[in-house]
Amino acid sequence: MSGQNTHTHPAFTKKDTNAVVLPLGVYAIAFLAMLPLAALIYQASGDSQDVWPHLISYVLPSSAVTTLVLLTGVACGTFAIGAVTAWLTCRYRFPFSNIFQWALVLPLATPTYVAAYTWVEFSDFTGPMQQLVRDLGGYKSSTEYWFPELRSTGGAIFLLSMVLFPYVYLPARLSFQSLGTSMLDVARVLGAGPARLFLRVALPAARPAIAIGAILALMETLNDIGAVEHLGVRTLTFSVFDTWLNRSSLAGAAQLSLTLLLFVAVLIIFERRLRARQRFYEGRQSRHALEKIQLAGTKAWIATLTCALPIIFGFAVPLIEMAGSIVRRPEQIANPSLLLASANSLTVAAATALLCVVAGFVLAQARRHAAGSAIRAATLASGFGYAVPGTILAIGVLTAMTGIDNHVSRLAFWLTGYKTGLILSGSLAIIVFACSVRFLAVALGNIEAGYARISPNLSSAARTLGRSNEQVVFQVELPLLFKTLGVAALLVIVETMKELSATMLLRPFNFDTLATFVYSHASRAMFEQAAFAALLIVLIGLVPVYLLTRVFITGQEEAEGQKKMRTNLVRS
């Protein structure tokens, strides 16, 4: 009897240990992810140095109105461009339509701040656009002709819409593809023409997916600081930045950040409800694939121009402007400061990717093997940082890390008589931590998607054959997730190298990444000398664009081709 107890006791102990350690890891990750938000609330309770009377009288009303106008404009712009181009490429054939279906994702590789810097250079008085206007009209001065002002709220709406519309284009295209022919055939029998088919049938069916894409674009708009600052648009995000740095009121900036978080909370709640509705629409797919209609003549070229302009404005113009600047100043390619900034970017991005993938794997493991309401809540809390603008996240991270540094320094002084100084808040650790909190959701989403493709029966079979939980993870699940983990790390690296707001506000002295290198030069009207750095950011941004086109466009076309081939074989 005693021998039986000796045999079973370690197994139960190991099982209990696994059941405890995994949830503890999840709760620790959730705590660290929510720590900046808690620190932000704590900072907001501090003394704002009487900055609020000024904010209420001169800053908050105009900033709130500007933010609402900008969000409304970007929502309408991305909705219109993304939905129309998605419908055209799904429903019709016209010149270059096969190219447009994947090329319309390219503007997503252009960060909003890079688009703003390049477009200001392109449309400035000395730029090629106004030079062409003067040559055609024979003008000598800018007072002799009218030219739209890009440094305005309207200019910001235009640029952000041209860069962010792929957030709407991709889900809209998937939704239109899933419509099939049954619903459209019924509408045509009832007398609906092409315009009514799009407005009265296709759009209502795809509205939840389109709205989710528009909300993601709005979150990117709220996160932006580089573009709106360069264009002179004072949003709430810029007001937080200005209150912190220019008015030296961190508490006031934290209080203003809580106001901005209300916008984020509304967007998140709206997005969650739309996702619930989207499942209803996705459950009613037709068995017949949507067949394309051949356009000819004027209609064909109107469709071509409609799809080409967003690509030209959102991707080609920035690319051409950067290439021209590099040709004019080729010495910037070998700039030692640029090489150092590139190395710094890679270091921060690699460290962030490692932390995000490890944390994301732990969270996905817990969701798969230790599911429960508490685990689900902790996992959701861990991904909240992606919805928080980088400027706001920076305030919370700085407050939390400074508090930890102060406590460690006091403890060290009590034990040794020496102060440690700023260990975390004065090093790369603070940037890595902020980016890890912000982009953990990116890694987690990809890892959970990879886990969804692994049958639970494989793990159960391995356990039946005597494998422990650790052996199942390392011998079964990890090999199957290898590519998924690599893609997750790659996406985090790309997002981290593009991040400007948090990096700019938290970086140590004399420390530049590619994003801050471009920002510092553009803020001194020297963007031309940082064009190669901006080009590197865009080229890096093409990596997720390629992955998206493989998943959403190429993969879908291949699946449809295989389906048609099977149908033809059956018929023959």
Helix 390-416, helix 2-44: angle, nearest 10: 110
Of 181-190, 370-379, 477-486, the range with the lowest mean pLDDT is 181-190
* pLDDT computed for residue 569 by the predictor: 36
- Over residues 207-221, the mean pLDDT reads 86
Q: What tens digit of pLDDT does each residue of 54-98 get?
A: 778 777 888 889 999 999 999 999 999 999 999 899 888 999 988
Q: DSSP state, 370?
A: S
Distance CA 463, CA 11 (A): 13
Residue 93 backbone dihedrals phi, psi, to 5 degrees:
-110, 135
Q: Which residues are CB-neighbours of 59 under 8 A, at least 6 positions away?
A: 234, 239, 242, 243
Residue 301, CB half-sphere, CA atoms under 13 Å: how many? 2
Q: Can you say whether residue 466 is alpha, beta or left, with left for phi > 0 and alpha for psi between -120 and 50 degrees?
A: left
Residue 40's Cβ-count burial label (10 Å; 0-12, 13-18, 19+) is buried
Distance CA 512, CA 504 (A): 8
Task: Identify the structural domains of the chain with CATH numbers, from first to last.
Answer: 13-45+330-524 (1.10.3720.10)
Q: Which range among 280-289, 457-466, 544-553 has the greatest average pLDDT?
A: 544-553
* pLDDT computed for residue 265 by the predictor: 80
Percent of the chain with pLDDT over 90: 28
Confidence of residue 562 (pLDDT cuts 50, 70, 90): very low
* pLDDT computed for residue 9 by the predictor: 42
H helical segments located in 383-467: 390-416, 428-452, 456-464
Residue 27's Cβ-count burial label (10 Å; 0-12, 13-18, 19+) is middle
Distance CA 161, CA 480 (A): 39
- Over residues 408-437, the mean pLDDT reads 84
Q: What tens digit of pLDDT does each residue of 127-140 get?
A: 888 888 888 888 88
Residue 66 backbone dihedrals phi, psi, to 5 degrees:
-60, -40
Q: Count other Cβ atoms within 10 Å, centred on residue 186.
A: 11
Q: Evaluate whether 325 touches 121 at the Cβ level (below 8 Å).
A: yes
* pLDDT computed for residue 185 by the predictor: 58
Confidence of residue 421 (pLDDT cuts 50, 70, 90): confident
Q: Count other Cβ atoms within 10 Å, centred on residue 240.
A: 28
Is the pLDDT score of 274 beyond 70? no
Between the CA of residue 460 and those of 15, 219, 466, 472, 473, what are the distances in Å?
A: 15, 40, 10, 9, 12
Structure-token pair, residue 167: 């957030």
Q: Evaluate whether 240 touches 392 at the Cβ level (below 8 Å).
A: yes
Q: What tens digit of pLDDT does each residue of 315-349 get?
A: 999 999 999 999 988 988 888 999 999 999 999 99
Q: Using CA of residue 149, residue 154, residue 160, residue 164, what is the dihedral sign? A: negative
Q: Which residues are CB-neighbours of 201 under 8 A, at least 6 positions away?
A: 179, 183, 184, 187, 192
Instruction: List beta partners, residue 93.
Output: 294
Distance CA 521, CA 528 (A): 8
Q: Evaluate whether 282 touches 77 at the Cβ level (below 8 Å).
A: no
H helical segments located in 165-316: 166-179, 182-189, 194-196, 203-223, 226-230, 236-245, 250-282, 297-311
Distance CA 41, CA 119 (A): 38
Percent of the chain with pLDDT over 70: 83
Average pLDDT, the chain: 81
Helix, strand, coil shares, percent, the chain, to 5: 80, 0, 20
Q: Which of 275, 174, 302 is nearest to 216 (CA)?
A: 275
Q: Evaluate whether 230 touches 116 at the Cβ level (below 8 Å).
A: yes
Distance CA 514, CA 343 (A): 9
Is the pLDDT score of 276 beyond 70? no
Whole-model pTM?
A: 0.83
